[in-house]
Amino acid sequence: MTKVVVISIALGLWSLTSSAQKAFEGRIIYDVTYNSFPDGMESVEQSLPQQVVMIIKGHNVRIIQQSALAGELLQIHRSSIDSIYQIFHFMDRNVLMVEPIENKSIKYRVVEMEERKELAGVQGQKMFLQSADGQHVDAWVDAKFQNHLQADLSGLKYLPLEYSIVKNGISMTLFAREIKHEPIDQTYFMLPENVVRIKGSDLQRILN
* CB 151, CB 14: distance < 8 Å: no
* CB 15, CB 106: distance < 8 Å: no
For residue 194, how far is the Cα from the chain centroid? 24
Q: What is the mean pLDDT of the chain?
A: 80
CATH number at residue 60: 2.50.20.10
State the pLDDT at residue 124. 95
Q: How many domains does the chain have?
A: 1
pLDDT single digits (tens) 164-193: 887 778 888 999 999 999 999 999 998 887
The amino acid present at 154, given as its one-letter code, is: S
- Is the sign of the CA dihedral 94, 100, 102, 103 positive or negative? negative
Distance (Å, whole) CA 194 – CA 64: 19
User: Has residue 105 got a pLDDT over 70?
Assistant: no
Q: With left for phi above 0 and alpha for psi between -120 and 50, is residue 161 left, alpha or beta?
A: alpha
Which of these ranges, 35-44, 92-101, 163-172, has the smallest mean pLDDT? 92-101
Beta-strand pair 170-181/196-197:
unpaired
User: Has residue 200 got a pLDDT over 70?
Assistant: no
Angle between helices 2-11 and 200-207 (to 10 degrees): 150
Which of these ranges, 1-5, 39-43, 48-52, 200-204, has the smallest mean pLDDT? 1-5
User: At 58, is the pLDDT very low, low, confident or very high (cuts 50, 70, 90)?
Assistant: confident
Distance (Å, whole) CA 8 – CA 73: 11
State the pLDDT at residue 116. 96
User: Has residue 119 got a pLDDT over 90?
Assistant: yes
**Structural domain boundaries, residue 83:** 2-207
User: Has residue 150 got a pLDDT over 80?
Assistant: no
Q: Which are the contacts of 108, defined by CB distance < 8 A and separation ≥ 6? A: 129, 130, 131, 137, 153, 154, 155, 156
Distance (Å, whole) CA 10 – CA 4: 10
State the pLDDT at residue 128. 92
